Amino acid sequence: METINKPKTTIVIFGVTGDLAKRKLFPSIYNLFKKGLLSENFAVVGVARRPWTNEILRSNVCEAVKNEVDPDAGELEGFCSHFHYLPFDVSREESFDELNSLIGDLEEKHSIPGNRIFYMAMAPQFFGTIASSLKSRGLTETEGWSRLVIEKPFGHNLPSAKELNEQIREAFNEDQIYRIDHYLGKEMVQNIEVIRFANAMFEPLWNNRYISNIQITSSESLGVEDRGGYYDTSGALRDMVQNHMLQMVSLLAMDPPIRLTTEEIRSEKIKVLRAMRKVSSDEVEDYFVRGQYGPGEIKGKEVPGYRSENNINPDSQTETFVAGKLMIDNHRWAGVPFYIRTGKRMAVKSTKIVIQFKELPMNIYETKNSDTHPNLLVIHIQPDEGITLLLNSKKNDSSGGTAPVHLHFSNNSVNTVNTPEAYERLLHDCMLGDATNFTHWDEVDLSWAFIDTISEYWENSKEELPNYSSGTMGPEESDELLKKDGFHWWPLNEDGE
């Protein structure tokens, strides 16, 4: 009898020869299998244009798993035998008929009751065509359930996102569509709700009476690497802000849901996105800063500027850095700025959230002997996972002064077993039909509507780029954005100094 937490499933990966499948999907599916969260009655069908065979795919799966985890040899061989390959042309209806036939044979062999996940791990221009053909050729007509998993980018602006959504909705209902944002699968991003709603010491303070500002930084030390072709048409605003950054803002700012259901959590996140103050063209420079990295030094090594990278236009105006000030016009957050920044070729690789609490109206310890510091709650998303609370305490001397101390919890040091990879958790959620940590169309719609004005303004801007050196934390204008409000970016080190 099928257990509730590991449904018998067929996973179809479109674009199985690509980098995403190799680096993320194969190891994640293996980890689910090894942990007993994937039924032994499963099949994975990989499709792509290359003339591969089952043996070639299985060899690639084994190699990918070995690169990421330390598998049991016998177990890995059995795992890889569940993978099957089909050379595929999305423009040929016969390809979909062949796929349907293969899935049917595998479902019979493994006693899978028609449960199918179709994972789009390929170029987004084919999403609509594939979804339409899956329905018209009968692949979604099964006794079980059918779910469509879509990787970003979901469009490149609001009109294109609406067009894509309309195409997909002709074949799948909204509750069958799983728009994946891997940030929502990260351990400490999911922990935001628990920190807020399970702790009496935080939730009563989580508002504009006690919090002065919130900062979200997602910095990378790498450049565009081999993604130049995609990145130069996207940029940091579309690649990071429209999805990952705004998702974290909505989790930090949402009101407590009535209950922990997909519908209630999504509803509260959508309210936040609706309450975000729209930025007009005339206001873009007051609220947002863009940047592009030039040559510089990372860890003692000289690195080239963005315009010298592979597949990049030598006159490119694409931003590799974005900093912004978001205002949420509701009762809880009126007057509290949410600052975001994200970029490539920055000084460190780190994603952190800093909640800065307001100072006391009259702090009697603000003397020359004290090093008073605002209280900070730091949520470490990656590469470290954990929480730091910065408090003021008595100095270890006879001066009677104070000094900041850190209370630190490290998820990595407590859990010796690696925390679940984001894709691993999200794939399992999809199998269970839990869409809580996937993006609803209303969230996509509102986030595109918010950033389209900014991207259109920048497309017509004559700003001088590049404007920050590799190995720094972005252009100086990013610091000025906070300075004019009387704040500064908190450094990414543990000391907050």
Instruction: Say how far apart CA 176 and CA 430 lie, in whole Å.
Output: 9
Q: How far apart are CA 280 and CA 488, in angstroms?
A: 25
- Tell me if residue 244 is catalytic: yes
Whole-number Å distance between alpha carbons of 15 and 150: 12
* DSSP code, position 472: B
For 248-309, the DSSP string reads HHHHHHPPPPSSSSHHHHHHHHHHHHHHBPP--GGGHHHHEEEE-EEEEEETTEEE--GGGS
Single-letter code of the amino acid located at 15: G
Classify residue 372 by burial, with Cβ atoms within 10 Å: 0-12, 13-18, 19+.
middle
d(CA 343, CA 394): 38
Largest CA distance in the chain: 83
- Provide the 10 A C-beta neighbour count for residue 418: 11
Separation of CA 476 from chain center: 26
Q: Which of 82, 244, 428, 440 is catalytic?
A: 244
User: Alpha-carbon distance 237 to 457, whole Å?
Assistant: 12
| 404 within 8 A of 492, measured Cβ to Cβ | no
**Token pair recorded at residue 116:** 């199918």
Spatial separation of the C-alpha atoms in residues 245 and 332, rounded to whole Å: 20
- Tokens of residue 306, six digits: 């963005």
Handedness of CA 341, 346, 349, 355 (dihedral sign): negative
Helices 246-253 and 187-197: crossing angle in degrees, nearest 10, is 20
- Of 451, 464, 472, 420, nearest to 185 (Cα)? 420
- Alpha carbon distance 192, 266 (integer Å): 15
Sorted by sequence, the CB contacts under 8 Å of residue 431 that are 6+ apart come out as: 6, 7, 9, 38, 115, 117
Q: What b/e sequence results for 199-211 when a residue is b if at least 16 CB atoms lie within 10 Å of its CB, and e otherwise? A: eeeeeebbeeeeb
* Catalytic residue list: 244
